[in-house]
């Protein structure tokens, strides 16, 4: 699996979330890239629209300041599934590779 992104300080967590979605949660590649993301820095949390409300509620109980409807990093991913190669370009950049 190859995953990369653009978006400054959000790159690491966005790439990690895509990898976790695919490898550990069993999402197909398109869903793994498309799924809403979260970025947490010292009690400040950026979330994309549609992110899991129960997680947001838990963070608020821990006194996190929540910033909603933030657009996080644009991610591209490529994975080999048996005899085929699958690729997904993030809808956050209208389906174009990062940098365009």
Give the residue ranges of the annotated binding site for L-glutamate. 8
Asked whether residue 44 carries a pLDDT value surpassing 90, the answer given is no
Mean pLDDT, the chain, whole residue set = 87
Q: Give me the pLDDT at residue 70, please.
A: 76
Q: How many helices (H) and strands (E) does the chain have?
A: 3, 6
Residue 60 and residue 97: Cα distance in Å, rounded? 34
Q: What is the CA radius of gyration of the chain?
A: 14
Q: Give me the pLDDT at residue 74, please.
A: 86
Q: In the structure, what pLDDT confidence band is assigned to residue 99 with cuts at 50, 70 and 90?
A: low
Give the residue ranges of the annotated binding site. 8
Q: Tell me the C-alpha to C-alpha distance, in Å, between residue 31 and each of 7, 20, 42, 50, 63.
A: 20, 12, 28, 13, 30
Taking only the tens place, the pLDDT of each residue in 50-95 is 899 999 999 999 999 999 877 778 888 999 989 999 998 888 876 5
pTM of this structure = 0.71
Spatial contact of 17 and 77, defined as CB atoms under 8 Å apart: no
């Amino acid at each position: 699996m190859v995953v990369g992104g653009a978006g400054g300080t959000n790159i690491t967590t966005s790439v990690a979330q895509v990898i976790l979605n695919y490898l550990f949660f069993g999402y197909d590649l398109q869903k793994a890239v498309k799924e809403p993301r979260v970025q947490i820095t010292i009690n400040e949390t950026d979330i994309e629209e549609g992110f899991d409300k129960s997680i947001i509620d838990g963070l608020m109980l821990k006194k996190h300041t929540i910033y909603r409807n933030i657009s996080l990093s644009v991610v591209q991913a490529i994975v080999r599934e048996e005899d085929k190669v699958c690729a997904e370009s993030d809808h956050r950049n209208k389906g174009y590779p990062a940098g365009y």
